[in-house]
Amino acid sequence: MRDPLDGTDPRGKRARLLVVEDEMSTIFALRSFFAYSGFDVDCAAGPGDGVHLLERNAYDAVITDLQLTPGGVEGFEVAEVARRRNPAACVVMLTAYGSLATERRARQSGVDVYQTKPIALDLLADAIHGVLEARTTCRPH
């Protein structure tokens, strides 16, 4: 198992991470953990800001909440834009409202890791590293 406090990508450079989340306490926890772990972390408090950042920056990993506004499911849009902008990125969707249908739609939107909240951050980091390592080792050199 990889050390979750190693924020480098499989090539040894600092991985860039975008967190798109509407709950400030969750943003704080994710940003603190992943920045301490060596990731370069950007945060967005809503889908508009998240898409704006995705269109202007290259991210190795994107973590988005499913519901970014009351009753909304904007996380699907964030996931789709993230996947279009960087097909090799690890796209993570977190939700407190998980279901099989939602997970299926998330996978169709390009999500690699679908998790219900709460989740242990070290396990989330392991999942992100696993996806990034798999994508790096599967690419032709």
pLDDT in tens, 19-52: 999 999 999 999 999 999 989 999 999 999 999 9
> pLDDT at position 97, please?
85
Q: What is the pTM of this model?
A: 0.88
Strand ranges of the sheet holding 61-65, from the earlier edge strand across to the other edge: 40-44, 16-20, 61-65, 90-95, 113-116
- What is the pLDDT at residue 12? 61
What pLDDT digit, counting tens, does each position of 73-104 carry?
A: 899 999 999 999 999 999 999 999 889 999 99
pLDDT category at 15 given cuts 50, 70, 90 is very high
CATH number for the region 16-138 comes to 3.40.50.2300
Please tell me which residue, 141 or 95, carries the higher pLDDT value: 95
